[in-house]
């Protein structure tokens, strides 16, 4: 059993037992849970305590059709502006719940119990929500802060290894972009057995949340420093567009390695730091060899880029724990990978 830690920021974030803090957070409120079938099956005592709405799995469920279905069910249940929506699940559930809550009757209060590692260190923190439109991820959404987020690392015990690794890729990203101590801590515990140690996982989750919170507090609307959180993601998103064989975390691992090598070539990052990044990714079982050609990846990046002119903003590592945002012409970006 881990201790409860609280971070008071734009939302109140509780890292520790979900059951122990939920009752007091929702006392006296009508609560409607939004969750997915896995959480409904694994945590019935939590879900069935309240009225609940079940959504489907995966990115194909993160759509306006799902949102409309939820609005309809909320109306049938007679939910009004005093109702609190509680998203219990990973990033898919919390992104949908946040969007529905921000828009239903012009906004109702909401909270999350985040149940994936990726959700706990990233998706549930910072107030971004949204859904996909056709093939475009997160095209529609809002900035809206949940009243509370509960991240219970004990719930990660039921999460499949591949999903745990997807989350650890984002934690490694956090270490590279702003927390060399966290990176070092991961190096000390770098293998899959880390996932069965709740005390270590709680430390890791807390550190990653603290860095994200610090960045979001300074730039909630992503007009500056929050962009640092996109480290490795330009390449990662392009890989995900090219192939469905890798998941988001696996693509992020490849993106982190690719941008670290590009940074070395540009004279920004020491080779030894780049080697540490590759070694840590390898220790967690990530494949860093690209599954598609760099030419295909760059074509996807260029397609994405059409929306914002000829220049591209790239987050480049300068050392473990420090990155900078560099704006460059797209041709220069391409050269970094040739
Ligand atoms: N809003 C943001 O700032 C932000 C940031 C990063 C990612 N995201 C979004 O997050 C989404 C991905 O989230 P994810 O990786 O959490 O995926 P997910 O929500 O699809 O969860 C992964 C799988 O794990 C299952 N699961 C969840 N918790 C479990 C548990 N405790 N035990 C067993 N199974 C469990 C789910 O049912 C699902 O099958 C993407 O859509 C991405 O765009 C949002």
> What is the assigned CATH class of domain 161-335?
mainly alpha
Residue 233 CB partners (closer than 8 Å, separation 6+): 252, 255
Domain extents in the chain:
5-158, 161-335
Among residues 227, 222, 224, 247, which one has the least CA distance to residue 237? Answer: 247
Quick check: 232 pLDDT over 60? Answer: yes
Separation between Cα atoms, residue 105 and residue 300, nearest integer Å: 38
Helix 271-283 vs helix 248-265: angle between axes, to the nearest 10 degrees? 160
Ligand 1 contacts CB of residue 155 (under 6 A): yes
Nearest to 276, CA basis, from 160, 211, 180, 204: 180
CA distances from 265 to 141, 251, 257, 270 (A): 37, 21, 13, 9
Copy the structure tokens of residue 20: 């122990």
Note whether 34 and 87 are within 8 A (CB).
Answer: yes
CB atoms within 10 A of CB 272: 10
Nearest CA residue ID for atom 4, ligand 1: 123
For residue 18, is pLDDT > 90? Answer: no
Which atom of ligand 1 sits closest to the CA of residue 141? 1
Tell me the residue ranges of DSSP E strands in 123-241: 131-133, 136-140, 148-151
Mutational pocket test of ligand 1: of 33, 88, 89, 131, the residue with most ligand atoms within 8 Å of the beta carbon: 89
Buried b / exposed e over 19-39, threshold 16 CB at 10 Å, is: eebbeebbeeeebbbbbbebb
In 3D space, the residue among 25, 52, 22, 23 whose CA is nearest the CA of residue 40 turns out to be: 52
The reply to whether the predicted model has a pTM over 0.85 is yes
How far apart (Å, rounded) are the C-alpha atoms in residues 238 and 300?
5
| pLDDT band at 31; cut points 50, 70, 90 | very high
Asked if residue 250 has its Cβ within 6 Å of ligand 1, the reply is no
Could you tell me if the CB of 38 is within 6 A of ligand 1?
yes
Tell me the pLDDT band of 310, cut-offs 50, 70 and 90.
Answer: confident
Tell me the average pLDDT of the chain.
Answer: 95
d(CA 218, CA 230): 16
Domain 5-158 coded CATH 3.90.440.10: no
Residue of 123, 251, 253 to mutate, ligand 1, most atoms within 8 A of C-beta? 123
pLDDT score for 136: 84
Looking at per-residue confidence, does 309 or 266 come out higher?
266
* Ligand 1, atom nearest to 166 Cα: 15
DSSP string for 183-211: HHHHHHT-SGGGGG-HHHHHHHHHHHHHH
Run of H or E residues at 31: strand 31-35
Cβ proximity of 26 and 78 under 8 Å: no
Three-state DSSP state, 136: strand
Does the pLDDT at position 306 exceed 60? Answer: no
What pLDDT is attached to residue 264? 97
* % of the chain surpassing 70 pLDDT: 99
Q: Tell how far the Cα of 313 is from the centroid of ligand 1, in angstroms.
A: 27
């Amino acid at each position: 059993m881990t201790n409860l830690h609280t971070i008071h920021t734009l939302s109140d974030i509780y890292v520790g037992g979900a059951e122990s803090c939920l009752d007091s957070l929702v006392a006296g409120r009508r609560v409607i849970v939004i969750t997915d079938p896995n959480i409904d099956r694994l945590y019935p005592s939590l879900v069935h305590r309240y009225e609940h709405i079940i959504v489907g799995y995966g990115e194909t469920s993160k759509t306006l059709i799902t949102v409309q279905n939820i609005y309809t069910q909320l109306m049938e249940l007679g939910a009004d502006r005093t109702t609190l929506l509680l998203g219990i699940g990973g990033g898919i559930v919390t992104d949908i719940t946040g969007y529905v809550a921000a828009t239903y009757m012009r906004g109702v209060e909401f909270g999350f119990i985040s149940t994936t590692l990726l959700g706990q260190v990233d998706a549930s923190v910072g107030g971004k929500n949204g859904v996909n439109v056709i093939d475009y991820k997160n095209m529609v959404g809002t900035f809206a802060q949940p009243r509370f987020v509960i991240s219970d690392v004990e719930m990660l015990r039921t999460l499949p290894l591949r999903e745990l690794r997807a989350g650890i890729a984002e934690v490694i990203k956090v270490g590279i972009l702003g927390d060399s101590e966290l990176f070092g801590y991961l190096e000390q515990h770098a293998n899959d057995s880390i996932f069965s140690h709740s005390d270590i996982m709680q430390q890791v989750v807390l550190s990653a949340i603290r860095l994200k919170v610090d960045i979001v507090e300074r730039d909630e609307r992503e007009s500056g420093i929050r962009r640092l959180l996109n480290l490795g993601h330009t390449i990662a998103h392009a890989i995900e567009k090219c192939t469905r064989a890798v998941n988001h975390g696996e693509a992020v691992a490849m993106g982190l390695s690719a941008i670290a090598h590009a940074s070395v070539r540009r004279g920004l990052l020491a080779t030894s730091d780049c080697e540490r990044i590759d070694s840590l990714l390898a220790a967690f079982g990530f494949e860093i060899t690209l599954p598609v050609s760099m030419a295909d990846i760059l074509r996807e990046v260029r397609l994405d880029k059409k929306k914002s002119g000829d220049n591209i903003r790239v987050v480049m590592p300068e050392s473990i724990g420090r990155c900078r945002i560099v704006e460059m012409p797209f041709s220069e970006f391409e050269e970094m990978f040739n």
